């Protein structure tokens, strides 16, 4: 993973937080890169983007932003705020499920709990958008995209668990199996062939 941005002139707490984002292992299917952080949301910020590839296609995209306001001038429960965004295309049957928003939100809450990421002030939205082509684009298939946006204030400057939450959320949105589960469909195909 590339460096997470220039932080040498930031307070030590923010530097330690940024360093902790490098600790988690990143799955081979996920490519994470440093991107410019927003400059007006907080005195200190770092940002990353990610692309998830599955079956030789882009399956999901995401961004993670860590904001830090040591003076407490923002309306956050702690000096830090983690902001995540994840987007993925969905199959038509899944997109039509009325519980889709609740299921997608549960990916986040279960990841926060499973990774033991202590936090306060969790908020967010889940959006599904359907795109239909007309006129010269009438032959294009209907697509549906899921978008989850969320933010929370971590209770500590150690953010490796928060990074893992974002990686878990990307994996779930892309439909990747858990890391510790073998994909037997690939083996079955070879055995039958």
Backbone angles phi, psi at 84, to 5 degrees: -125, 150
Q: Which of 173, 168, 151 lies closest to 95, judged by CA?
A: 173
Separation CA 52–CA 135 (nearest Å) = 32
Q: Is it the case that residue 189 has pLDDT exceeding 90? A: no
pLDDT digits (tens, 9 = 90+) for 18-35: 999 999 999 999 999 999
Q: Which of 192, 72, 94, 79 lies closest to 144, judged by CA?
A: 94
Q: What is residue 1's predicted lDDT score, i.e. its pLDDT?
A: 38
Q: What is residue 184's predicted lDDT score, i.e. its pLDDT?
A: 56
Q: Which has the higher per-residue pLDDT, 190 or 66?
A: 66
CB-based contact 146:90 (threshold 8 Å):
yes
């Amino acid at each position: 993973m590339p460096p997470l941005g220039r932080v040498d002139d930031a307070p030590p707490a923010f530097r330690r937080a940024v360093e902790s984002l490098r600790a988690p292992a990143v799955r081979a299917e996920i490519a994470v890169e440093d991107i410019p952080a927003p400059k007006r949301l907080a005195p200190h910020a770092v940002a990353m983007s990610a692309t998830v590839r599955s079956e030789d296609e882009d399956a999901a995209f995401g961004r993670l932003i860590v904001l830090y306001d040591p003076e407490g001038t923002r309306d956050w429960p702690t000096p830090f705020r983690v902001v995540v965004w994840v987007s993925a295309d969905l199959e038509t049957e899944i997109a039509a499920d009325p519980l889709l928003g609740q299921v997608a939100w549960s990916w986040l809450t279960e990841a926060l709990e499973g990774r033991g990421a202590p936090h306060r002030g969790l908020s967010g939205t889940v959006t599904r958008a359907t795109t239909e082509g007309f006129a010269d684009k009438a032959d294009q298939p209907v697509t549906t995209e899921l978008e989850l946006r969320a933010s929370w204030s971590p209770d500590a400057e150690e953010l490796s668990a928060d990074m893992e939450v974002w990686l878990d959320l990307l994996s779930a949105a892309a439909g990747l199996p858990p890391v510790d589960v073998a994909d037997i469909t690939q083996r079955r195909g070879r055995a039958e062939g």
